[in-house]
Structure 1
């Protein structure tokens, strides 16, 4: 089968397309014929060996996919050949097939095709749990989303709006601001043109109830300084590269709650929240919720897709069509 291989750690242009042996489903595993895979920022970090966990080379890049079950291993009873599934893994998604534990898969909800299913699981679970499980968002809350035009950001706009919150989208360009307004943001802030702290306070009158931050860098503290008393600041990642150091006296003075969210360990620590979220997310999908996919590329263009995500040149999600 074809696969996008990381043979040396480095920039996305080091990724190469190779023919590799087809995987086999072992005990407890499911073999999936991948039809679409989406690109997430951690894929860039893993390839560059800048993620929290090192993956030894060589390996197949990619962490999120959708397709149909080809075979199941011993002991698997909840999936059968032909089932449409979506899932995530620590690697292996940018390929024509993947073998993963059955626990890594979800049935594709009604209302999602393979392209949107591939782009759904990581970003929408991240958005939903960042906002609800960790951010405790309520209808009427002011929610600030940093990096709002990215995959997690656009999902946060969608989920928060459907939950009745008012979203302020913070982005890097006027073009991205317009895209976020079309997705449901009631206000937008362009980092380079406006004072983030001042604008948040001006728009809300009291400060943000919830801030979701997948970006990090200098804007994190500015957004935190604009949080309302008792507000919740949810740390999702550091796409800008720099890990912020927010003074703890600000947390004290604002009575704020700072929480970190990592989807990789959510099921281990909060299995009940995962199940509750699955039910609610399926309800939202049935009501029309789906990812904003801006680009679709063939497998051979995986290095380009990763490069565009690394350079924050995209809006929404990029999907790789492994069947093209």
Structure 2
């Protein structure tokens, strides 16, 4: 087999090997993508224009909404094109650029969710010292650290996979350029690359996930010690939305990336990938909007202001 040079294109097969109603599928994806933009932009605008939401929790939530919009935008437009035209070509550089931003945004969101758990831990377990500890400087450091760590993680992954030798088979059985299907196209030895990606990737996902579990274990202990029932209810409601969002995100990630390679199935991976690239980014904004009284109040005020006649 001949090595493919850097000017050669890959082909994203998407769901072209499955029998389905293209028009209906395209419409559903487009509606979800549009809702992702609208819901998250409304959430960001509400946080920006509501002084009562200028707190660390909503600062991180605004960043999460921005990540969700970007995360979907990296993959969905290409998927929509793929649904319309079948297998869609993508250049060598374009493929690895998509992979870089996909991993960057995904790993940054993973780290941000753990930071948000830490924020809830401080707010519930140390309420009197919360505003003193979670100051503007710490907010900048925590948020910046998520992006820097995500950037380095993505750079390492993308560089290692891009150095593999790719041969005549350029058909990627996925709707995005991800490490696992790309490694499957290589005609060179990939044992070291697979070991590195699994080990380093596990650290980036597992450590934040464990941190989230520990944070919520300590939060649960603190809540159970509260004597006032209304205080317990208020404390639980303040972190319930984040807990749901975290379960959705890590549940799909663990299903795809933490299982034996012998269980790999491109069909199931494509379907589950849709959950965390399309469905979860859309649901996150609705979960926070519908389960949070402050956000609902701010959204209502924003909508009234937008449609009021001056």
Structure with greater helix percent: 2
Global fold match (TM > 0.5): no
TM-score range, shorter chain: under 0.3
**So what's the TM-score if we normalise by structure 1?**
0.24
Identify which of structures 1 and 2 has the higher relative contact order when contacts are C-alpha pairs closer than 8 Å and 6+ apart: 2
Larger Rg: 2
